[in-house]
A and B are shown apart, each in its own frame.
Chain A
Amino acid sequence: MKDAPSVQNQPAGLSQEADFATFMQNYQDMVFTCAARILADDAQAEDISQEVFVKAHAHFEMLSVSPSAGGWLKTVTTRLCLNHLQRYRRRWRFFSEFSRDDAGDDEPGVEFAAPDVFFDGMDGVDRREAVERALARLPENQRVPLVLFHFEDLSYEEIASRLGVSLSKVKTDIFRARSALARALAGLAGEPNPA
């Protein structure tokens, strides 16, 4: 977990506001990235990031000297994102979730080659953007557990508990997410490099 930046080493004499601005600069990319990967929506991710830092400001006395401020921010970001998704999901479930929950069970497995094979001829920025795009295109029920597992280091059990779904559903969704991501990346490998 990225906990390295700290405002403890800032020059003495800075006001609390200046300290907080430095604190934000240190962590805003991490918070925004965490939210954007879970929500797959930059505007919503910015709203959530704002809420996270407003909460952080209320606890700034503690966070400014805490070595685990990054962990605190990630935890709050994840919790707010999941709350946001659950609120949204409840609101729209009637409208959008008529499809069977087990749809796609018979999807074939996919062979996953080493990442370098996918990105042969792509530079670092294109590669990063391609993966981020592929990740954002995953359906929510696959993307969220995948992000929590691979980026937030949560176990299957913790993810099941946070999302309020069964352990087997979490495992299935993550498996499908990996397959879908692998297919998307394999598709990229077949496309001509846009650059």
Chain B
Amino acid sequence: MPSTDPRLPEQSLHRLLRNLPDRPAPRTLQHRVLAELERRAAEPSWRRSYASWPAWLRGAFVLGALLAAAVAAAGPARVLGEMALRIDSLSFARTVVRGMEGSARDIVAAIPATWLYAAAAAVAASYAILAGLGAAAYRAFAHSRHHLLSNA
């Protein structure tokens, strides 16, 4: 018989839910975990996550990343130019990099601005159309199927 105590719904439901026993885990779970642990243990160190790398390797990686960032910030051609003053063999690399930088700049400058805007608009429109079609397809098939299953 329904109760008039406003706290009873919450209390009854809480009791009902808390009395539910645990569901048995799939029999495959333990095998999967042990297999995954074995797979990870067999992985070479360079394929493991950064957190599991040896300390010296993590330090070297950070130094390398900082160096690469510094070179990118200063400009590769400028850095190579500075180095070429000290090391003769790098003058050829400096020339190549400068040539590539100049070519890229010339190509971009030669393209009319209208074309660039039109290309950007085409990319944006394609993206919007693709997302719209995806949304429509999802709502037409997956979402309605989920609702049917939920209401079954």
Q: Which of A17, A114, A151 contacts B12 (CB 8 A)?
A: A114
The answer to whether B25 touches A54, judged by C-beta atoms less than 8 angstroms apart, is no
From known contacts A94-B131, A95-B139, infer whether A24 and B21 are also in contact, taking CB-CB under 8 Å: no
The answer to whether A32 touches B26, judged by C-beta atoms less than 8 angstroms apart, is yes
A-B contact pairs, 30 of them (CB 8 A): A17-B34, A29-B22, A32-B22, A32-B24, A33-B25, A46-B25, A49-B33, A53-B29, A54-B40, A95-B135, A95-B138, A95-B139, A96-B139, A111-B2, A112-B2, A112-B8, A113-B1, A113-B3, A113-B12, A114-B1, A114-B8, A115-B16, A131-B16, A131-B17, A131-B20, A139-B150, A150-B13, A150-B17, A181-B13, A182-B9
Query: Bound state CA distance, A24 and B34, in angstroms?
Result: 10
- List residues of chain A with CB under 8 Å of any chain B CB: 2, 17, 21, 24-25, 28-33, 36, 42, 46, 49-50, 53-54, 57, 92, 94-96, 98, 111-115, 117, 128, 131-132, 135, 137, 139, 150-151, 178, 181-182
The answer to whether A32 touches B2, judged by C-beta atoms less than 8 angstroms apart, is no
Query: Bound state CA distance, A30 and B25, in angstroms?
Result: 8
From known contacts A29-B24, A31-B25, A36-B23, infer whether A50 and B32 are also in contact, taking CB-CB under 8 Å: yes
B30 on the A face (CB < 8 A): yes
Question: Told that A33-B23, A92-B138 touch, could you supply 9 new A-B pairs with CB distance under 8 A?
Answer: A2-B22, A28-B25, A30-B22, A32-B22, A46-B25, A54-B40, A111-B3, A112-B9, A150-B14
Please name the residue on chain B nearest to A56 by beta carbon. Answer: B33
From known contacts A24-B33, A28-B30, infer whether A178 and B1 are also in contact, taking CB-CB under 8 Å: no
Which chain B positions have C-beta within 8 A of A2?
A: 22
The answer to whether A112 touches B18, judged by C-beta atoms less than 8 angstroms apart, is no
Query: Bound state CA distance, A53 and B6, in angstroms?
Result: 41
B52 to A: closest C-beta gap in Å: 9
B37 on the A face (CB < 8 A): yes
The answer to whether A46 touches B32, judged by C-beta atoms less than 8 angstroms apart, is yes
The answer to whether B28 touches A128, judged by C-beta atoms less than 8 angstroms apart, is no
Q: Which of A32, A98, A181 contacts B29 (CB 8 A)?
A: A32
| B 109-123 to A, binary, CB cutoff 8 A, 1 in contact else 0 | 000000000000000
Which chain B positions have C-beta within 8 A of A94?
A: 131, 135
Which chain B positions have C-beta within 8 A of A50?
A: 29, 32-33, 36
B15 on the A face (CB < 8 A): yes
Query: Bound state CA distance, A137 and B147, in angstroms?
Result: 10
B40 to A: closest C-beta gap in Å: 7
Which chain A positions have C-beta within 8 A of B29?
A: 24, 28, 32, 46, 49-50, 53
The answer to whether A25 touches B3, judged by C-beta atoms less than 8 angstroms apart, is no
Which chain B positions have C-beta within 8 A of A96?
A: 138-139, 143
Query: Bound state CA distance, A95 and B138, in angstroms?
Result: 6
